[in-house]
Amino acid sequence: MLWKLKDRTVDLGRSGVVMGVLNTTPDSFSDGGKYLNQDAALQHASEMISEGAAILDIGGESSRPGADPVPVEEEIRRVIPTLRIVRSAFPGIILSVDTTKSATAWEALLAGADIINDVSAAKDPEMAAVLKESGAGIILMHMQGTPKTMQINPTYSDVVAEVFEFLKQRTEALVDQGIDRQCVAIDPGYCFGKLLAHNISLVRNLKKFKEIRRPIVVGVSKKSMIPQLLSQPRLPMKDRIWPTVAFTSILREEGAHVFRVHEVKPNVDALRMTEAILFDE
């Protein structure tokens, strides 16, 4: 399983990778405001890399439920300086920018990003042109609605079939516009326009998505499904770390390749342990 990025190709055949989250937003659900300062952001990037993150995902617009959109100029102002200093300090690390906007994506690629992580699955009409010209990797995620509306009564007839068909169609749409299929990765979008039952169905049936024959990215770190599953609605963020680790192990066994998380080391350890059991002779 090869994933082509802007200047390199990642082999995900036997080893999955952890993508560490670096938010430059004041309102992220997990760590809002902690890394607005560039020194703090660089320190956190250094820590995540030392703990085994292969990718850092830098975002300047919160996609938590109910979040308001951020103007493109403000998103660029938040993201690009941090991306530049991280790229300068760590030239070998893979960098992703978490954005739905082609203008932000283009500026990020010029600043050193390798991947566009797009929760809207490249619906910006100019995104395909950005991808084609740059050769960047793209993560296509499924979301019902928008971050502002996605958790207002999400409804499916068959969540697995509908999410699968959406990701398959979005992949083919980009390929039809000249994007190399090997640049595409897919993400079922846990907790993005889904109720608990929808999320669990997508966990249990993740192997279905291997039929698209592209790397599978998952992001469940500290999300609302964890306190729901544990019947602890007020579970603090610090107590969602180890349940996230459990998800990393389960989802690797179900076929996921890239794990977007807030705490890197325990998830890297879980990933390597799971792979040792699954694959090593």
Per-residue pLDDT tens, the chain, 281 aa: give them. 999 999 999 999 889 999 999 998 775 545 555 656 788 899 999 999 999 999 999 998 877 777 788 999 999 999 999 999 999 999 999 999 999 999 999 999 999 999 999 999 999 999 999 999 999 999 999 999 887 887 888 999 999 999 999 999 999 999 999 999 999 999 999 999 999 999 999 999 999 999 999 999 999 999 999 999 999 999 999 999 999 999 999 999 999 999 999 999 999 999 999 999 998 65
Q: What pLDDT is stored for residue 264 in this prediction? A: 98
> Which is nearest to 206 in space by CA: 159, 152, 155, 151?
159
pLDDT of the residue at 178: 97
What pLDDT is stored for residue 150 in this prediction? 77
Strand 217-218's sheet: what is its strand order?
Answer: 184-187, 137-141, 115-118, 94-98, 55-59, 17-23, 258-261, 217-218
Catalytic residue among 222, 223, 240, 252: 223
Q: Which two tokens stand for residue 114?
A: 């390798």
Q: What is the largest distance, in Å, between two alpha-carbon atoms of the chain?
A: 52
Q: Is 260 a catalytic residue?
A: yes
Spatial neighbors of 200 by CB under 8 A, at least 6 apart, are 225, 229
Pairing of strands 17-23, 258-261: parallel
Please tell me the total number of residues recorded for the chain in this structure. 281
CB 48 within 8 A of CB 263: no
- Characterize the bridge pairing of strands 184-187 and 217-218: unpaired
Q: Considering only CA atoms, which of 150, 143, 140, 142 is closest in space to residue 117?
A: 140
CATH number 3.50.50.60 given to 2-278: no
Q: What is the pLDDT of residue 32?
A: 54
CA nearest neighbour of 117 among 199, 163, 67, 185? 185
Half-sphere exposure of 2 (CA within 13 A, CB side): 7
Which residue is it, tokens 């180890």?
242
Q: The tokens of 26 are what?
A: 């004041």
Residue 223: active-site member: yes
**281/272 Cα distance (integer angstroms):** 14
pLDDT confidence of residue 62: 79
What lies within 8 Å, CB to CB, of 69 at 6+ separation is: 61, 146, 147, 148
Q: What pLDDT is recorded for position 85?
A: 95
What dihedral do alpha carbons 164, 160, 101, 85 form, nearest 10°? -100
